[in-house]
Amino acid sequence: MLHIHFGTGRLGLGLIAPFFQTPESELYLLNRAISKGNPTGGTALGPGRRNELLRDNPDKQYVVQSPSSRHVVRYDGFFAYDAEDVEGVISSIMDRSDRKGRGVIVTASVLTAENYRPVVRALDAVCQAKEWSPGSVGPIFLVACENTVTAAEVFEHEGLADLITPEVRCHVTPVHALVDRMCVELEEDDSGKHPTVRACVEEYGSLKLHLAGADTEPLPSILDGSRVEFTRYVDVEKQIKSWLLNGAHWLIALRAFHAAGGDPGLKLNQYLKASPENKRFAETVLAEMSEGVGILLRNDPQYAGFVRDVDVDRYLAGAAKMILHRFSSTDDSLARILARFRAPSPDEFSTIEAFNERFAGRVDEPLMAYESAKGVIPPAASQSLFSLHRLVATHTYVNAGGH
């Protein structure tokens, strides 16, 4: 199998590339030659130096470091592309590949559909190679590896319509994915013979693909030996993750940020370990969110299949326990967790409105479901909402105020 991945940031290197890898696969990494600013925060290793390390490492390898293990990821090539040469890069990869006959999986850790133009152009180049030599290129798949966008949305985006050729629509199967790992930092690693990139991650990691009929049936065989899992409920599990993991993450982090006087360098696990009260607060937030999520799942017909096939209470209890363990065991700074909680500026005057909109999308429905069922506002979560109010009122953000 040939795996082509766009985006060598924390998530791309820390989860996507290693989880898709099989004993028989080829891996090519691509990134923009000039990277734009990242709304989820910068890294210790700048994008230019990261590109140099991935391009120049003679062993073609980088490191994924978790708290208890070190894993070397080997790749077949790295390309820093610009807007004009992505087709040439893909043609070169297709010419080099010995495994494309098994299948081609194009993945991208790109946050929004409108930024998929290079990816779509790459898909067209892959499809052209298949048209020229049909027997030499296996089935082609696109997987959007950010929970903010799906591969189907890329195909439907009006701004990409001019690029999505009949060949792409004919040959490429869009696959829905759920990605879940806290990838906290990129650093330079000098422990080997040659310097390379080190992606610092939590122990936990999960990457699930949606099986949706005959077009996706080859995937389990193609990805045999990888760490990818398969489910028929990606939509539901992605929504649960947004509510229970992402929503609780921000609720707890906002309370910690407020309690620490606006110190963005504080690690969330330091806050949780600082006192029994802090840990109980996090446990209560997760319990409140879990209860609200359970109510939503049982009351909304769109989740009926999941409720029928899965023990919801057991699923949520297990998820909440694992989430608290993940928060407690990962050195993850409030600056990264709350990277979007930035002070308004002349260049970014709507940062707080954007943060509040995203925050509301993660917490409003579960909290309102809890309140409707209980007749009271969730007490722990309400403390976090008060913390958000006080932080904004005192102009305390991850990039301004506090300390």
> What is the sign, positive or negative, of the torsion defined by CA atoms of 227, 234, 210, 120?
negative
CA distance 137 to 134: 6
Res. 295 pLDDT band, cuts 50 70 90: very high
pLDDT of 41 higher than 70: no
Query: Which residues, in sequence order, are CB contacts of 39 under 8 Å at separation 6+?
Result: 111, 339, 340
Instruction: Determine how β-strand 172-175 pairs with β-strand 206-210.
Output: unpaired
Provide the mean pLDDT of the chain: 95
Q: Which residues share a beta bridge with 27? A: 3
- At residue 84, the pLDDT reads 80
When pLDDT is cut at 50, 70 and 90, the band that residue 347 belongs to is confident
Instruction: Return d(Cα 253, Cα 243) in angstroms, integer.
Output: 15
User: pLDDT digits over 84-108, tens only?
Assistant: 889 999 999 999 999 999 999 999 9
Q: Is residue 225 predicted with pLDDT exceeding 90? A: yes
Torsions phi, psi for 217 (to 5 deg): -60, -30
pLDDT for 402 beyond 70: no
* CA dihedral angle for residue 162, residue 164, residue 169, residue 171, rounded to 10 degrees: 140
| Whole-number pLDDT of residue 42 | 72
Q: Is 258 exposed, middle or buried (0-12, 13-18, 19+ CB in 10 A)?
A: buried
pLDDT value for 213:
85
Kindly tell me if the per-residue pLDDT of 190 is higher than 70: yes
The pLDDT score that the predictor gives to residue 40 is 60
How far is the CA of 237 from the CAs of 59, 180, 339, 388, in angstroms?
38, 11, 24, 27
pLDDT beyond 90 at 44? no
**Per-residue pLDDT at 36:** 65
pLDDT, position 223: 98
Q: What is the model's pLDDT at position 353?
A: 95
Mean pLDDT of 3-12: 97
Which pLDDT does position 400 carry in this prediction? 84
- Whether the pTM exceeds 0.75: the reply is yes
Average pLDDT on 173-190 reads: 96
Percent of the chain scored above 90 by pLDDT? Answer: 92
pLDDT at position 140 is: 98
Closest of 279, 372, 254, 398 to residue 329, by C-alpha: 279
Q: What is the chain's Cα-based Rg?
A: 22
Confidence of residue 348 (pLDDT cuts 50, 70, 90): confident
Domain boundaries of the chain, sorted by first residue: 2-232, 236-393
Average pLDDT estimate for 202-207: 96
Tell me the average pLDDT across 6-23. 97
Q: How confident is the model at residue 134 (pLDDT cuts 50, 70, 90)?
A: confident
List, edge to edge, every strand of the sheet that includes 61-65: 70-74, 61-65, 196-201, 183-189
Considering the domain 2-232 in this protein, what is its CATH number? Answer: 3.40.50.720
For residue range 314-329, list pLDDT tens digits in order.
999 999 999 999 999 9
Q: How far is CA 120 from the centre of its chain?
A: 20
pLDDT at 156 over 70: yes
Which residues sit opposite 5 in a β-bridge?
29, 107
Q: Are 198 and 63 in contact (CB under 8 A)?
A: yes
For the cut 70, the answer to whether the pLDDT of residue 204 exceeds it is yes
pLDDT digits (tens, 9 = 90+) for 249-258: 999 999 999 9
Percent of all residues in the chain with a pLDDT value above 70, rounded to a whole number: 98
